[in-house]
């Protein structure tokens, strides 16, 4: 399985996407993925995740922009050495694409906002990669 990582301001974001064939319906032009995100605080300060910004691109080049408060209904506070993990999902009208974005964070000590990157990660069914015999 593919794993994608980015580190910004001492926060490491790791994403592992998984194609969901049982929830996909290619005959109707629908492909679904789940993705697990782990945000690790490797800095010396506590921060809170307050918003998210996603760019979701399908194989045809169509881009959907998603913004919202927190993640999966939470505004997690992440102390140094701690992590926050969640699972979410997306659907595309093509069998491949990508996602990338950022999280809006606020330092607990200064209330100063900053952003951390979500690495660009591939969404693919595995079929397009071919198989070795």
The predicted-structure confidence for 2-61, as pLDDT tens digits, reads as follows 899 999 999 999 999 999 999 999 999 999 999 999 999 999 999 999 999 999 999 999
Q: Comparing C-alpha atoms, which of 35, 51, 46 is closest to residue 99?
A: 35
Lowest mean pLDDT among 10-24, 71-85, 89-103, 115-129: 115-129
Residues 6+ apart with CB under 8 A from 40: 11, 12, 13, 14, 82, 83
The phi-psi region of residue 76 (left if phi > 0; otherwise alpha if psi is between -120 and 50; otherwise beta) is: beta
Q: Confidence band (pLDDT; 50, 70, 90) for 127?
A: low
Place of tokens 């198989």: 131
Q: For the domain covering 4-124, report its CATH number.
A: 2.60.40.1470
Residue-range domain boundaries for the chain: 4-124
């Amino acid at each position: 399985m593919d794993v994608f990582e980015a580190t910004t301001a001492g926060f490491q974001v790791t994403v592992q996407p998984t194609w969901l064939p049982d929830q996909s319906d290619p005959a109707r032009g629908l492909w679904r993925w789940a993705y697990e995100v782990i945000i690790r605080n490797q800095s010396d300060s506590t921060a809170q995740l307050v918003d998210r910004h996603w760019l979701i691109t399908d194989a045809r080049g169509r881009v959907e922009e998603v913004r919202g408060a927190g993640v999966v209904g939470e505004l997690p506070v992440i102390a140094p050495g701690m992590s926050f993990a969640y699972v979410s999902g997306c659907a595309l009208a093509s069998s491949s694409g990508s996602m990338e974005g950022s999280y809006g964070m606020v330092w607990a000590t200064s209330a100063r906002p900053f952003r951390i990157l979500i690495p660009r990660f591939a969404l693919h069914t595995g079929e397009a990669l071919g198989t070795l015999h």
